[in-house]
Structure 1
């Protein structure tokens, strides 16, 4: 994860520096570009810090080592639900949300409801324990 974290931390530091220089050159009066550059830096730094935390938590992965074998990553890589209907519900909420841009903002309420139901259903599809379905 070291390469991935540096891939975001270095541009984040660059945009932070450039944002401060840009703000100083415009006397911090230009209130579109300056915050946009700082937000770009913040987003890049946020992802880079997250990857750095994953690196500390999981240690060195086989793909981070030069002497790793392909067989070290064999096996299951995660959980996939091939027959899940929840992504379709979530896509329907997104479609209603995009329709709201053309028709009217009042459609954002049903879009948010459908999208929230789809997201919660998809996340909780394989939940176990007291509230399992």
Structure 2
């Protein structure tokens, strides 16, 4: 975690330099402000990561002699095959199309969104994926 803090702090130094150069050359306030805000975000994240790294144990990425497999572990559980995200994405796209086409389309897409959400949430409580 120490390396991420250092990377963000160095990134903030680079963004600050680019903000100054951009502000002097372009004299454009919006882009200059955005770059200074990006500098602020980078320094906040870098400080947080550097501060947190002092309180946690050293990880494998902090050891220069570590192998890739040293930090390996269980990633998590993922559904093997699920159609619910696809149905939810299609019904969500239909709902967002209601903004461009007409709000009446939202009445048709809302039930499909609810079916997609309930199907995804309760996917492992019914059917072949039901936990015994």
1:44 and 1:87 map into 2 onto residues whose CA distance is 33
CA RMSD of aligned residues (A): 4.3
Richer in helix (by share): 2
Q: Match for residue 63 of structure 1?
A: 61
Q: Which runs of 5+ in 2 are unaligned?
A: 122-132
- The structure with more radius of gyration: 2
Q: Match for residue 3 of structure 2?
A: 3
TM-score, normalised to structure 1, is 0.50
Aligned 8 A contact 2:8 2:42 in 1:
yes
Q: Which runs of 5+ in 1 are unaligned?
A: 123-133
Pair 1:66–1:40, CA change in 2 (3 A): same
Q: Match for residue 125 of structure 1?
A: none
SS at match of 1:9: helix
Q: How many residues align?
A: 111
TM-score, normalised to structure 2, is 0.50
Aligned 8 A contact 2:9 2:42 in 1:
yes
Pair 1:97–1:58, CA change in 2 (3 A): farther
